[in-house]
Amino acid sequence: DGGITQSPKYLFRKEGQNVTLSCEQNLNHDAMYWYRQDPGQGLRLIYYSQIVNDFQKGDIAEGYSVSREKKESFPLTVTSAQKNPTAFYLCASRPGHTYEQYFGPGTRLTVT
Amino acid sequence: GQQLNQSPQSMFIQEGEDVSMNCTSSSIFNTWLWYKQDPGEGPVLLIALYKAGELTSNGRLTAQFGITRKDSFLNISASIPSDVGIYFCAGRRVGETSGSRLTFGEGTQLTVNP
């Protein structure tokens, strides 16, 4: 069945290590997004991509990198340059004809 | 950044009560979306609104696109324990130049006491 998958659900890393979060969708959606959510807060946009091989920085892109080599996939790398990487990361996708975004289940990253 | 004021921040109600929350902005929007997020999960789209004055229902939930196009409202009737969660508004601001991005409210945390 169609949907957005994020894996893994929980991820633990040591400080100083880069880590890549997976986001895959089989909805044939054009645009994909990465958000960060901290406890008790709203969603902050990290990066987004409207078409393959193109992406734009959101409000908090520093310390993160992305790629969009395939329509279905939009992986997010949290680099060691990100000062406070521990957070809940949400991926979303959007069909081309609407502004409605559909979210994956999220990945909780803990860096110690 | 965030330009939507969502209120209230939190609500504690008894099962069976009705709930109202809203989002306001100084900017004009052409799309309003309402999401619900359960703990540890991704937000789920509840209702989408596209036209000023539009009133749309989804079961016990009703949302309205404000006439001024600067606000939106969500009502939940006869609340039940599974309504617990965080409700987010999101909108597409008129004049947004940054592609297809949305502006999000900070959420309303709803607690329902049985």
Percent of chain A with pLDDT over 90: 92
Residue A36 near residue A83, CB atoms below 8 Å: no
Q: What burial letters (b/e) apply to A24-41, b meaning 16+ CB within 10 Å?
A: bbeeebbbbbbbbbeeee
Q: Which residue has the tokens 């109600």?
A: B13
- Asked if B1's CB is within 8 angstroms of A59's CB, the reply is yes
Question: What's the confidence (pLDDT) of residue A63?
Answer: 97
Residues in chain A with CB shorter than 8 Å from the CB of B104 are 42-43
User: What is the average pLDDT across B90-104?
Assistant: 87
Q: How many residues does chain A have?
A: 112
Task: Tell me the C-alpha distance between B20 and B7, whole Å.
Answer: 9
What DSSP character marks residue B106?
-
Per-residue pLDDT tens over the stretch A40-88: 788 999 999 999 999 999 999 999 999 999 999 999 999 999 999 999 9
For all residues of chain B together, what is the average pLDDT?
A: 94
Residue A81 to chain B, least CA–CA distance (Å): 22
Beta bridge partners of B8: none
Half-sphere exposure of A46 (CA within 13 A, CB side): 28
What DSSP character marks residue B73?
E
What DSSP character marks residue B39?
T
Per-residue pLDDT tens over the stretch B14-50: 999 999 999 999 999 999 999 999 999 999 999 999 9
Task: Assign B99 a pLDDT band (cuts: 50, 70, 90).
Answer: low
Residue A61 near residue A54, CB atoms below 8 Å: no
Task: Tell me the C-alpha distance between B24 and A48, whole Å.
Answer: 25
For all residues of chain A together, what is the average pLDDT?
A: 94
- Asked if B106's CB is within 8 angstroms of A99's CB, the reply is no
Compare CB distances from A94 to B40, B100, B106 and report the shortest one's residue. B100
